[in-house]
Amino acid sequence: MNLHEYQSKRIFAQYGIPIPRGEVASTPTEAREIAGKLGGKVVVKSQVLVGGRGKAGGIKLAVDKDDAEEKAKAILGMDIKGLTVKRVLVDEAADIKDEIYLGLVIDRARRRVVMMGSSEGGVDIEEVAATMPDKIVKVAIDPCIGFRSYQAMDLATALGIPKELTRSFGQIASGLYTAFVENDASLAEINPLVVTGDGKLLAVDGKMSIDDNALYRHKALADLRDPSEEDPYEVEARRFDLSYVKLDGNIGCMVNGAGLSMATMDMIKLYGGAPANFLDIGGGATAERVAAALRIILSDQNVKTVLINIFGGITRCDEVARGIVAALDEVGAAVPMVVRLVGTNEAEGRAILADAKMDPATTLAEAAQKAVAASKS
């Protein structure tokens, strides 16, 4: 789950990271009031879950409260990379002398949280990585020892942080690490961390992603979820307790079990096709859930064919078949479907599907080959 800038920065502040004073507005009038309270110049910032808002025109400086109202009027309702801006953050404007990048990610190969820093802050870190990889400094953190002050020193030196700011930098870096660990984040990033005209460090932009699998133990964070900013199909899938991840291919997959889902995707790849999604309907899926799954798959415009692969253990094949028929009654089968049903009540399942004009397959290999062929015809 991705957090908005204002949410991320509020968390950062709880860990001692300096952020600009500011508040969130959903109308130009509110933006004006906030700017009035802050006094002086402000920056009006669109709150949408995408990067590069600055370049897209979603971040504007305002000289006073009248100007802030105007800027908010321009930004609210704006479309940024397909997302409509519903809220803006009105922050005290920073006097920026220098922009630094500071972020934390999980490096699976190293099995460590890695802190990355770059003197080339403000721009996309992906761009820095592609064009000037030597401008990125990395420090791997031992989970048993935690983030140490010598690591902060090393980073500060490599990033060219002025001597008088190394202490503050150390506190920010260490605060960011604690925020990352305590909130089960998969990403925490300050871009830019700025050096201000009066010689202070300030986190001007913030971004955090929280591991969905840990949300059960972060009730307050889970409540911050904003479904209107997420893929509508993934929202729908969550409502029905389905594990669904959209992918780029054109073969829709409906499978029971995460392992079998991955094996199915591998087989599709092996035979030269590309899966449109990962979808695990889980064990003991009801007809209602199966129908929801099929609706989600078929609402993806890229889907050219559907591969249903069910291994009935706890899940009963007849129940799955009833779900498929129910979904098809509702949405209609616009694309060819290949179905492999084996296990508990498979004969009953097949009988239910006999009228549904599905291409039956016995083995997974056969099913994958048929689906790939259908996706290319």
CA dihedral sign, ordered 88, 91, 94, 100: negative
Residue with smallest beta-carbon separation from Mn ion: 205
Residue whose pair of structure tokens reads 């799954």 in the numeric block:
293
Please list every residue from 223 through 262 that binds ligand GDP, using CB under 6 A: none
52 sits near ligand GDP (criterion: CB under 6 A): yes
SS3 state of residue 183: coil
Pick from 93, 102, 179, 294 the residue near ligand GDP by CB under 6 A: 93
SS3 state of residue 158: helix
- Rounded CA separation 160/168 (Å): 14
Pick from 85, 94, 210, 265 the residue near ligand GDP by CB under 6 A: 94
72 sits near ligand GDP (criterion: CB under 6 A): no
User: Which CB atom, from 120 or from 205, has the smaller least distance to Mn ion?
Assistant: 205
Query: Catalytic annotation on 101?
Result: yes
- Rounded CA separation 170/172 (Å): 5
- Rounded CA separation 270/250 (Å): 15
Q: Compute φ and ψ for 227, nearest 5 degrees.
A: -60, -25
191 sits near Mn ion (criterion: CB under 5 A): yes
User: Which partner in ligand GDP, Mn ion, none is near 193 (CB below 5 to 8 A by kind)?
Assistant: none
**Does residue 183 contact residue 208 with C-beta atoms inside 8 Å?**
yes
Query: Catalytic annotation on 189?
Result: yes
User: Which CB atom, from 6 or from 15, has the smaller least distance to ligand GDP?
Assistant: 6
User: Which partner in ligand GDP, Mn ion, none is near 90 (CB below 5 to 8 A by kind)?
Assistant: none
**243: buried, middle or exposed (CB in 10 Å: 19+, 13-18, 0-12)?**
middle
Output DSSP code: residue 144.
Answer: T
Pick from 36, 51, 162, 343 the residue near ligand GDP by CB under 6 A: 51
Binding residues for ligand GDP, rule CB under 6 A, total 17
User: Which partner in Mn ion, ligand GDP, none is near 316 (CB below 5 to 8 A by kind)?
Assistant: none
Catalytic one among 30, 69, 189, 346?
189
71 sits near ligand GDP (criterion: CB under 6 A): no
- Rounded CA separation 100/109 (Å): 26
User: Which CB atom, from 85 or from 291, has the smaller least distance to Mn ion?
Assistant: 85
How many other CB atoms sit within 10 Å of the CB of residue 261?
22
User: Which CB atom, from 5 or from 319, has the smaller least distance to Mn ion?
Assistant: 5
User: Which partner in ligand GDP, Mn ion, none is near 69 (CB below 5 to 8 A by kind)?
Assistant: none
Length of the chain, in residues: 377
**Residue 191 C-beta: closest distance to Mn ion, Å:** 4
Half-sphere exposure of 136 (CA within 13 A, CB side): 18
- Rounded CA separation 342/84 (Å): 45
18 sits near ligand GDP (criterion: CB under 6 A): no
Which segment (24-32, 170-178, 197-205, 269-277) binds Mn ion by CB under 5 A?
A: 197-205
User: Which partner in Mn ion, ligand GDP, none is near 53 (CB below 5 to 8 A by kind)?
Assistant: ligand GDP
Pick from 120, 205, 318, 319 the residue near ligand GDP by CB under 6 A: 205
User: 3-state secondary structure string, 27-55?
Assistant: CHHHHHHHHHHHCCCEEEEECCCCCCCCC
24 sits near ligand GDP (criterion: CB under 6 A): no
Half-sphere exposure of 76 (CA within 13 A, CB side): 19
Please list every residue from 109 through 138 that binds ligand GDP, using CB under 6 A: 122
Helix (H) or strand (E) run with residue 137 in it? strand 136-141
- Rounded CA separation 349/15 (Å): 56
Buried b (16+ CB within 10 A) or exposed e, 335-366: bbbbbbbbebbbebbbebbeeeebbebeebee
Pick from 99, 205, 318, 346 the residue near Mn ion by CB under 5 A: 205
Please list every residue from 277 through 316 that binds ligand GDP, using CB under 6 A: none
96 sits near ligand GDP (criterion: CB under 6 A): yes
Active site residues: 101, 189
Q: Which residues bind ligand GDP (CB under 6 A)?
A: 43, 45, 51-54, 59, 91, 93-94, 96, 99, 122, 191-192, 204-205
Q: Which residues bind Mn ion (CB under 5 A)?
A: 191, 205
